[in-house]
Amino acid sequence: MMMGSFPPTADKWAMRFHYPNFQNDMWRIYGRVFFDDADYFRVGDEKRFDPERIRAFMFERGIASCPTVVQAIRETGNASDKNLTVITTVDLDHILPQVPKVQKLFTTGGKATEVLLNLLNEPPTKSKHPKTNQSIDYPYQWHDTEKGHLADQVNDLTLYRLPSTSRAYPLALDKKVAAYKEFFTKVGKL
């Protein structure tokens, strides 16, 4: 399951789906990784991607997508996570039963990784957070015992941290594509 942080302000949206900003390279990276075509998900010459084509592709490949942040304040009004104040995080007790086959989570940057690690009963210190292109065991312990999960029941997942797809992240597109390609190959999606 792909887990990012929080979308940009609505005025930056080019579609109503995950990674809606046309300036973000997420769907170009997916296009290059899976189809060797950065414009595979683009709608003609328009500055937007086709959310239905993306949904169909992700469903076909068994790739889920979910933000790690449900409610936030963008202090500067731009899409940077640097000035993102998190108000409400994702409720994995609610999300994980909807995707029961998920064994691997992958984040698209540091903020999403930090948010997920802080959901663990014993979050690792910041120095133990995975660096870009690294993984870590993610023993998620259920919190909501009213939904039939035992308080001590653990969902053993693996958390991978991939590079941010933001153009503000200082890594060449080719290197981002290579990192995502290596990940999807490793997890058997490519």
Average pLDDT over residues 59-83: 83
In 3-state terms, what secondary structure has residue 21?
A: strand
177, 162 contact by CB (below 8 A): no
| pTM for the full predicted model | 0.89
What is the average pLDDT score of the chain? Answer: 88
Residues 6+ apart with CB under 8 A from 81: 5, 6, 109, 110, 111, 112
Helix, strand counts (H, E) of the chain: 5, 7
pLDDT at 129 over 90: yes
And the tokens for 42? 């683009």
Q: Identify the residue with better confidence: 6 or 64.
A: 64
The answer to whether the Cα torsion of 98, 100, 106, 110 is positive or negative is positive
pLDDT at 122 over 70: yes
For the chain, give the percent of residues with pLDDT over 90. Answer: 61
Cβ-count burial 157-182 (b if 16+ within 10 Å, e if not): bebbbbbbbbeebeeeeeebbbbbee
Residue-level pLDDT at 4: 87
> pLDDT tier at 171 (50, 70, 90 boundaries)?
very high
